[in-house]
Amino acid sequence: MKATAKAHTNIALIKYWGKRNESIILPTNSSLSLTLDGFYTTTTVDFSEEYTKDQFTLNERPIEGEQLRRVTGFLDLIRQHAGKSLHAAVHSVNEVPTAAGFASSASGFAALAAAGSKAIGLDLPERELSALTRQGSGSACRSIYGGFAEWEMGTKEDGSDSYAVPIAPAEHWDLRVAAVVLSSKMKKVSSRTGMKRTVETSPFYQGWLDSIPAEMNQIKEGIKELDFEKVGEVAEANCLKMHATTLGANPPFTYWHDTTMTVMETVREMREKGIPAYFTIDAGPNVKVLYLPENEEVIKNTLRTIPGVADIRLSRPGQGVTYL
Whole-number minimum distance, CB 187 to ligand 2P0, in Å? 17
18 binds ligand 2P0 (CB under 6 A): no
Do the beta carbons of residue 36 and residue 315 sit within 8 Å? yes
Whole-number minimum distance, CB 12 to ligand 2P0, in Å? 3
Binding piece for ligand 2P0, criterion CB under 6 A, among 43-51, 132-140, 162-170, 225-233: 132-140
Please pick, from the candidates 8, 15, 118, 220, the single residue that binds ligand 2P0 as defined by CB under 6 A.
Answer: 15
12 binds ligand 2P0 (CB under 6 A): yes
> In this structure, are strands 278-281 and 2-14 parallel, antiparallel, or unpaired?
unpaired
Binding piece for ligand 2P0, criterion CB under 6 A, among 9-17, 60-68, 199-207, 260-268: 9-17
192 binds ligand 2P0 (CB under 6 A): yes
321 binds ligand 2P0 (CB under 6 A): no
4 binds ligand 2P0 (CB under 6 A): no
3-class state of residue 309 by DSSP: strand
Whole-number minimum distance, CB 213 to ligand 2P0, in Å? 16
Whole-number minimum distance, CB 30 to ligand 2P0, in Å? 10
Convert 39-70 to b/e letters by CB count within 10 Å (16 or more is b). bbbbbbbbbeeeeeebbbebeeeebeeeebeb
User: Which of 4/280 has CB closer to ligand 2P0?
Assistant: 280
Do the beta carbons of residue 39 and residue 96 sit within 8 Å? yes
The single-letter code of the amino acid at 102 is F
Residue among 67, 168, 82 nearest 132 (CA): 82
279 binds ligand 2P0 (CB under 6 A): no
31 binds ligand 2P0 (CB under 6 A): yes
Do the beta carbons of residue 275 and residue 242 sit within 8 Å? no
Q: What is the DSSP letter of 53?
A: S
Please pick, from the candidates 282, 287, 313, 318, the single residue that binds ligand 2P0 as defined by CB under 6 A.
Answer: 282
Distance (Å, rounded) from C-alpha 16 to C-alpha 157?
18
25 binds ligand 2P0 (CB under 6 A): yes
Q: How many residues bind ligand 2P0 (CB under 6 A)?
A: 15
- Nearest-CB residue for ligand 2P0: 138
Do the beta carbons of residue 114 and residue 321 sit within 8 Å? yes
Residues in 135-154 at the binding interface with ligand 2P0, rule: CB under 6 A: 137-139
Q: How many CB atoms lie within 10 A of CB 268?
A: 13
DSSP 132-178: HHHTT-GGGGGGGSSSEEEEE----TT-TT-EEEEEE-GGG---EEE
Residues in 84-123 at the binding interface with ligand 2P0, rule: CB under 6 A: 103, 105
Binding piece for ligand 2P0, criterion CB under 6 A, among 10-18, 82-90, 91-99, 216-224: 10-18
Secondary structure element (H or E) that encloses residue 3, with its range: strand 2-14
Do the beta carbons of residue 302 and residue 266 sit within 8 Å? yes
Could you list the residues that contact ligand 2P0 (CB under 6 A)?
12, 15-17, 25, 31, 103, 105, 137-139, 191-192, 282-283
